[in-house]
Structure 1
Amino acid sequence: MIKRDEVVNERRGRLTVYLGAAPGVGKTYAMLGEARRRIDRGTDVVVGVVETHGRQFTSEQLEGLEVVPRREVAYRGTTFTEMDTEAIVARHPAVVLVDELAHTNVPGSRHEKRAADVEELRAAGIDVITTVNIQHLESLNDEVERITGVKQRETVPDEVVRAADQIQLVDMAPDALRRRMAHGNIYKPEHIDASLTSYFRVGNLTALRELALLWLADRVDDQLDDYRRAHRIQETWPAKERIVVAVTGGPESETLLRRGARLAQRAAGAELLAVHVLASDGLASPDERRVDQAQKLVAALGGTFHTVTGEDVSEAVVDFARGVNATMMIVGVSRHGRLRRLFMGTTGDQIASLAGAIDVHLVTHDQATGRLLSRPALSPLSRRRQLVGWVLAFVLPFALGGLLHAFEDTDTLSLASLALLASSVFVALIGGLFPALTAAVVGFLTLNYWFTQPYSSFRIGEPRILLVLVVYVAVAAAVASLVDRASRRATEAVTARTEATTIAGLARSVLTGQDTADAIVERVRETFGQEAVSLLTRSAAGWEVTAASGEHCASHPDEGDTRVRVDDDHVLALCGAPLRATDQRVLDAFALQTSLVLEYRRLRERELHAATLEKADATSTALLRAVSHDLRTPLAVMRTAVDGLLVDGVSADDRAELVRTVDASADQLERLIDDLLDLSRLQTGLIRPHLAPRSLDEVLPLAVAGHDRDRVVLDVPESTPFVLTDPGLLGRVVANLVDNAVKHSRGVPVRVLAHALPDTVDVIVVDQGPGVPEVQRERMFEPFQRLGDTTTGGLGLGLAVARGITEALGGTISAEDTPGGGLTMVLSLPRAAEAVEA
């Protein structure tokens, strides 16, 4: 037996949204009115949350309705109330009212946004009626801010509202809404004047109203499309004027698009859509440059550009128009000759026959008056192959005919026809279409002269022979045309594959972020076989070369043989052979990649700058904290000691003790200031060491001279190689490390050792103190890190300064465990090999 709750949970609750065009139009009032109507019909309705904002009429509508008590949430010492979703689910009414869908819940609530609470209620099978204003939709947030000057902090994704089962627009004329405001029905009296002169101006309200209507119109349009698909309705319903322009990629595309834009402007709210059909074999036969220009023109005219694939252009255009529920299609007059139009018809005629209820607007243009220059007339073959083809077209048929005629067999017409047909196919493979057609004509004359009666004459004795010769020429021409077309398709396929491979490589390099400007210009030069390529950047002084490949190409865009714009301040200049029109798409892809690389570089520089500023800000904050605390300590001690010295009657012993205190505090203060100055110099790059070959026997004894021999043990073999260092800076680093080690060594002597390696010399400072956990060792080299050190007299800068100086010397510093307990600091310095050899 299935429980009632399980049956209920299988059903998802419906969502009804009351969409307000502006605050105060009465969406909450309308929602409460709907709740009362449903209660009168016997529906179980409860109020989850309703905000009355002190409005009298809204409060009256709320009276008598069952309200689920809100849940209290404590946040930062204050108690807030939010909708109790769990209690509503437990109550499980048929319908729940949830006001202000875009509301953000108090931290600590069940969900971050109230929209998520609504989703939970719907998942429990409860119908939800909610409200939201148009200014709270995420996609319109920036538009509303530009209109009203007020940024909405709480937003809801458009998808949440679009997914509603029902949307009710609550609207009111701007003047009527302002009267409601003036009567005190929306805000308190003290806020009325300010609201009427700012947010609730007539212009603002009119713009918000238009936004709401347009947004809802799109939602209604989506619903209409869903309904047509669900009911398999193929014919269009002219609910909105949509004009589809068929773009062929020819020179007439601009004329058609501008005509479509003018027609769209005559109907308010009309849409302009351009569609370009690609052959289903994926080969790019149209002029890509013209297609790109058409795409840019559509964007400038406020339309959208679409590319579809289909075997039949007419069917593809009509299918697209039906899919978008178009009301008109604009097609250009055919540019083909009369003979082709007579036998094959035109695309416009075919579209008109398939359009059905969609109007077809046939537009004439300048290109329709002249004969179409077919693109296949421009052979993709090299001049050498075309020349060989033309020679074979005249020589090969006569050679084969003469060879067969030498057999002196009068019944060789069939064999000669096949041989000469094969010669036409061979010529088509070598030289293309027109040499092959010429070979067919020459073969016709050869057959007529040598193999038909009367022999050795161009006269035709029988009609049957004439028919045979005409059929031969027709078959030869057809076969040659097919062979030539297949050859062209193969060439286009190779080109398309090369372009696809190049563009795929570009996409892969963009995603991995490996390319640099130098790498891009090098790839451009290699891909297009150019002599040189330069990336030029516009500056205040003119154009500068940012990256270059090959010999000097150009220092100004006008000096390049081919130029492509990257952005407003960058241009790629190519020097070399002119590029084909088909290369433009790949070159544009390189330009796009260049812009991405430059943008990535700018973002990286900003990130580094921001990281530097963040680090400097953290250092400044820590410095202020240190100055306010650690530096005040020795100053306070000195001030106390000086005050003691100024008192009359102080004994000689006390005076001496006070002087020693002043001296010790002054030394402490001096060390602290030295550390701060060193840190500042390191961060600004002012420390520039003077590197020279030095012996550690000269440096280390001075660095540990301030400690007794029973506290520090120095063990440096005489065979230790020289190191390349600055002795003064190295002494400061070692002294700093030894001071830290002595401070934590617990009375056990600190050992200072030296160990030679093939490329470096390690200075090792070993203590038997408490050590430092491995997870904190890297952190202890950061400024102002004490790591639990509660002793006074330090800012936590010693190790940070030591690492900075070590890196300036070209060395490294690291921390390791001391066997038996403690910490070992390893200072690696580069060997001065030349000095050792000397």
Structure 2
Amino acid sequence: MSEEGRPDPETILHYVKQQEEKSKGGKLKVFFGMSAGVGKTYAMLEDAQNKKDEGIDIVIGLINTHGRKETAALTEGLENIPEKTIDYKGSKFTELDIDAIIQRHPQIVLIDELAHTNVPGSRHAKRWQDVVEVLESGIDVYTTLNVQHIESRKDVIEEITGISIRETVPDSILERASQIELVDITPTELLKRLKEGKVYLGTQSEIAARNFFQVDRLTALREIALRLTAEKVDHDLHGLLPNLEKSIQWRSSERLMVAVSHSPHSQRLIRTARRYAFTLDAPWIALHVNNGSRLSDKDNEQLAKNLSLARELGAEVITTTDPDIGKALQRVAKQKNVTQIIIGRARKSFFKSFFGKGNLLEVLNEEASDIDVHVIRQDSTIGTPREKWLNLEFTSRPSEYWIATACTLIVAGICDLTSSVLNYQMIGFIFLLTIIGFSLFISSGPLFLSAVLFSIIWGFFFIPPSGLSTFGDIEIGLFLSFFLTALVLSVLTERVRERESLLRHREEKSQVLYEIVRDLATSPFDTDLFKSICNRLNSLVGGQSDILLKSIDNGLIIPHQVELIKEEKERAVAIWVFDNGKIAGWSTDTLSSVNNLYIPLKGFKEIVGVLVFRPQPRRSLQQEEINILQTVCQQVANYVERTFSMEKVRKAEYTNQVEKIQHTILNSISLEFRTPLYSIRGAAKELKNPELAKNLALHNRKIQQIEESSNNLSRVVDNVLAISKLSSGFLKIHKELHDIRGLIDACLITLEKNLEKHLIKVQVAEDLPQIYFDFALMELLLCNLLINAAEYSPPGKTIFIAARFSNKQVLLSVADEGKGIPPDSIHQVFEKFYRLPGTESAGMGLGLAVVKTIADMHDATIEVSNRPSGGVEFSLFLPQNRI
């Protein structure tokens, strides 16, 4: 494929996401009309009755008949899920019961009035959000919608009707619809229905006829509804193409970007960008540039609304920090391959042009000449926020103005005392230096006041001849030039301070994010790590936070000691966010009555927890701070998911290892038990023979055979029980003073039969004192070493047992004259169930594992080595006089 024909990766990703959204969850069918009264609910109920006759499980979630008898008649025979009652300000309201619908889980549910606003206290602020949750549970939804409630058409329809539209639905909901049925009648027929009382009852019909329901307005609304339906059908046509490559060929190569600020006019720009993007079938970006200007709480709230609107309409929302808005737009446009930029028409300002860098359009024309720029007029019905004069802010505390005034008068007084030495030009220069110095410490408002005071004082009291009566044209010119010079210097210095503050804040944010990522990469997985992350996040964003994690295999863990979620409703929201994977709580449209903001920790495959954030009182979050929270959530989620995955892999490996050990144990036990049992059974069977009683020697040999096999079987059982008890940690050690010689003698007596074919040579140092050890456990250890020596050395060979001092320790050693151990296997002999390759003797491979475990319990060291003359030597180093 040529480079020109190669599809853009972001376009492919956008296409794949669209297909995934359409394939998962239930299907949405919208009964769409130009206004109320066209018969949308009636048509929906008719279709529902037909589906019911076809045997489809269809129920009513919520229907508003508005008192129309013919509409109410169509609800008969359809199951109606009761609505949920909500108390609000002493009154009771009913809303859609989402949980009841999901629990009932029909094939199709009818939910009327998609644009409806829910009563405060509901789970979601809007009914369309309820519908989305029902769809995501796998239930198909039938709903109704008027054209004036489409968000991207809001501005156009408000201009046509002259009526403010308060309830809207994001265009993405209409895009998600798998089917749109246009319920269309002529404006004349609709007005006739209005007069007959089939639209509104009583006086409402007369009010509607005088305002909204007029022929010209209805005709325009009908045209918009028809055009929107046609655009949706044309847009869905791309999905009919057989494969991705052909589908992408249909897609536009355009990419749009709209500049968003805290102005209410930005909403018009966002809706315009959405309409352009839908028409071009192109992705679009909503960009906000933080240029360091201080925004009020009201401005921050409006900015959050604007960005939320862009996100609801399907934009990729980006925030960036740059003191130069024009350069930021040009930079992001190049990074994202933007072909068209949409901006608002700014009012011309001499001071902005003089102190800034000209009009934004002019900047884009110069620096982004290869990008089309659309300039959208401002809505005259929306008030324009008062712009700050010269970018100066007059919101400082009164104390700052008093301090600025006092410092100005003090400097002027000092200059007055030295006026005999300094001329007025030098004093003016000192005043200018003082203003520059002030700009490093005080804000714009007090700085502006100081500039005014210095100008007045210098003009009236220091420019000769002094006094108001002698203030002529020359003095006025000097006064104005000084004032403008002081003002320009203060503005430029303030701008430098703002840029410095912007860079400092950016550096702090980068440093905190770096520290969080570093901790996630280097710190162990424990509560201290997440406390550290929360503390850093609190210092950066301002508030309190906590991280709730799920258990590896179960649901969300909510510790009782977490202060932020002690209330039951807070806990319920945290669980809902974890179950649904959506942000909720404070400042959102979902479960907003709580005090905290809840953000799900979404990994690549699963949700691993929830971030709980409580802001400082009476404070709203800026978009940049929300981005920081979401960035941290993503980093933490990836880390936790990766840790959980590694733990699951480790557990799976451990389970496989346990299964292999169980298999080995069963095989070994069956073999180890079978040999002595067969021997016992055979000898017992022969003892039943009466002829054997006549041969006393043979009779005694069979009894001895039974006794030896029983001892072997008992030894196997003892080793299995010993390793089980020792590994579990339940066996307690009892140390007392014992003699090593007595231990060796006890073992030789116990193993007399096992060692009768070998020569035993014992060498114990005469001055060896008694030492502390558990006699029973140490006897088991030494017996296993002796049995191992007897099994791996030929009959007639010597087994050496020695005990002596060695480096302030007691060395007990057992050596044989066998073949020895291969060098590559010598480090494995103490492992459970390990046996040397090619071993013919019976055994489970537990004896030496028991030896190693008992040695560790005594704080002793066990070593194994091949003897130069042949055979193996086991050396046990016991600490002296240690209990």
Cα distance change, pair 374–292 in 1 and its aligned pair in 2 (3 A): farther
- Structure 2 counterparts to residues 396-435 of structure 1, below 5 A: 396-407=410-421, 412-435=423-446
Residue deviations 1:387-417 (CA, integer Å, cap 9, x gap):
785245432342244224355x8xx231221
In the alignment, does 2:383 pair up with 1:371?
Answer: no
Match of 1:612 in 2: 654
Structure 1 SS opposite 2:665: helix
In the alignment, does 2:533 pair up with 1:485?
Answer: no
In the alignment, does 2:255 pair up with 1:242?
Answer: yes
Match of 1:444 in 2: 455
Cα distance in 1, alignment partners of residues 265 and 814 from structure 2:
83
- Structure 2 counterparts to residues 640-659 of structure 1, below 5 A: 640-650=682-692, 651-652=694-695, 653-659=697-703
In the alignment, does 2:682 pair up with 1:670?
Answer: no
Unmatched tracts of structure 1, length 5 or more: 1-14, 17-145, 147-205, 222-237
Residue from 360, 371, 383 that aligns with 1:347: 360
In the alignment, does 2:740 pair up with 1:728?
Answer: no
Match of 1:152 in 2: none
Structure 2 SS opposite 1:405: coil
Cα distance in 1, alignment partners of residues 878 and 390 from structure 2:
72
Residue 544 of structure 1 deviates from its aligned partner by: 0.5
Cα distance change, pair 491–271 in 1 and its aligned pair in 2 (3 A): closer
Partners of 2:548 and 2:611 within 8 A in 1:
yes
Residue 598 of structure 1 deviates from its aligned partner by: 3.7
Cα distance change, pair 217–391 in 1 and its aligned pair in 2 (3 A): same
In the alignment, does 2:799 pair up with 1:749?
Answer: yes
Cα distance in 2, alignment partners of residues 751 and 773 from structure 1:
23
Structure 1 SS opposite 2:376: strand
Residue deviations 1:215-266 (CA, integer Å, cap 9, x gap):
4555x69xxxxxxxxxxxxxxxx94453323345777767755654454345
| Matched length | 600
Match of 1:47 in 2: none
Cα distance in 2, alignment partners of residues 379 and 696 from structure 1:
94
Cα distance change, pair 722–472 in 1 and its aligned pair in 2 (3 A): farther
Cα distance in 2, alignment partners of residues 681 and 566 from structure 1:
45
In the alignment, does 2:546 pair up with 1:503?
Answer: no
Cα distance in 1, alignment partners of residues 791 and 833 from structure 2:
17
Match of 2:762 in 1: 713
Residue 597 of structure 1 deviates from its aligned partner by: 5.0
- Structure 2 counterparts to residues 177-188 of structure 1, below 5 A: none
The letter for the 2-side match of 1:447 is W
Cα distance change, pair 821–373 in 1 and its aligned pair in 2 (3 A): farther
Cα distance change, pair 431–214 in 1 and its aligned pair in 2 (3 A): same
In the alignment, does 2:343 pair up with 1:331?
Answer: yes
Cα distance change, pair 399–780 in 1 and its aligned pair in 2 (3 A): same
Cα distance in 2, alignment partners of residues 387 and 733 from structure 1:
88
Partners of 2:256 and 2:285 within 8 A in 1:
yes
Structure 2 SS opposite 1:431: coil
Cα distance in 1, alignment partners of residues 301 and 760 from structure 2:
82
Cα distance change, pair 673–479 in 1 and its aligned pair in 2 (3 A): same
In the alignment, does 2:587 pair up with 1:543?
Answer: no
Cα distance in 2, alignment partners of residues 577 and 363 from structure 1:
38
Residue 755 of structure 1 deviates from its aligned partner by: 4.5
Cα distance in 1, alignment partners of residues 767 and 398 from structure 2:
81
Cα distance change, pair 763–513 in 1 and its aligned pair in 2 (3 A): farther
- Structure 2 counterparts to residues 86-485 of structure 1, below 5 A: 213-218=243-248, 239-248=252-261, 256-257=269-270, 260-261=273-274, 263-266=276-279, 269-275=281-287, 302-305=314-317, 313-314=325-326, 317=329, 321=333, 328-332=340-344, 334=346, 340=352, 346-347=359-360, 351=364, 358=372, 360=374, 362=376, 364=378, 369-372=384-387, 386=400, 389-407=403-421, 412-452=423-463, 454-455=465-466, 457-459=467-469, 461-485=471-495
Which segment drifts farther, 797-806 or 566-575?
566-575
Unmatched tracts of structure 2, length 5 or more: 7-137, 139-235, 572-593, 602-607
The letter for the 2-side match of 1:500 is S
Structure 2 SS opposite 1:711: strand
Partners of 1:334 and 1:368 within 8 A in 2:
no
Match of 2:605 in 1: none
Residue deviations 1:701-728 (CA, integer Å, cap 9, x gap):
43444356951525366655744x5432
- Structure 2 counterparts to residues 8-23 of structure 1, below 5 A: none
Partners of 1:245 and 1:274 within 8 A in 2:
yes
Residue 750 of structure 1 deviates from its aligned partner by: 2.1
Structure 1 SS opposite 2:864: strand
Partners of 2:791 and 2:841 within 8 A in 1:
no
Cα distance change, pair 661–261 in 1 and its aligned pair in 2 (3 A): farther
Structure 2 SS opposite 1:781: coil
Percent of counterpart pairs with the same letter? 18
In the alignment, does 2:512 pair up with 1:512?
Answer: no
Residue from 642, 662, 676 that aligns with 1:634: 676
Cα distance change, pair 831–443 in 1 and its aligned pair in 2 (3 A): farther
Cα distance in 2, alignment partners of residues 390 and 406 from structure 1:
26
Cα distance change, pair 589–541 in 1 and its aligned pair in 2 (3 A): closer
Cα distance in 1, alignment partners of residues 490 and 734 from structure 2:
80
Cα distance in 1, alignment partners of residues 340 and 353 from structure 2:
24
Cα distance change, pair 577–327 in 1 and its aligned pair in 2 (3 A): closer
Structure 2 SS opposite 1:474: helix
Cα distance change, pair 716–572 in 1 and its aligned pair in 2 (3 A): farther
Cα distance in 2, alignment partners of residues 310 and 751 from structure 1:
83
Cα distance change, pair 215–625 in 1 and its aligned pair in 2 (3 A): farther
Partners of 1:289 and 1:584 within 8 A in 2:
no
Match of 1:782 in 2: 831
Cα distance change, pair 430–588 in 1 and its aligned pair in 2 (3 A): same
Match of 2:121 in 1: none
Cα distance change, pair 575–333 in 1 and its aligned pair in 2 (3 A): closer
The letter for the 2-side match of 1:425 is I
The letter for the 1-side match of 2:652 is A
Residue deviations 1:434-478 (CA, integer Å, cap 9, x gap):
3222221111111122123552x3356322221111111111111
Cα distance change, pair 401–773 in 1 and its aligned pair in 2 (3 A): same
The letter for the 2-side match of 1:642 is A
Q: RMSD in angstroms over aligned alpha carbons?
A: 5.1
More contact order relative to length (CA 8 Å, sep ≥ 6): 2
Cα distance change, pair 209–501 in 1 and its aligned pair in 2 (3 A): closer
Residue from 504, 508, 531 that aligns with 1:494: 504
Cα distance in 2, alignment partners of residues 290 and 732 from structure 1:
81
Cα distance in 2, alignment partners of residues 262 and 831 from structure 1:
89
Partners of 1:393 and 1:438 within 8 A in 2:
no
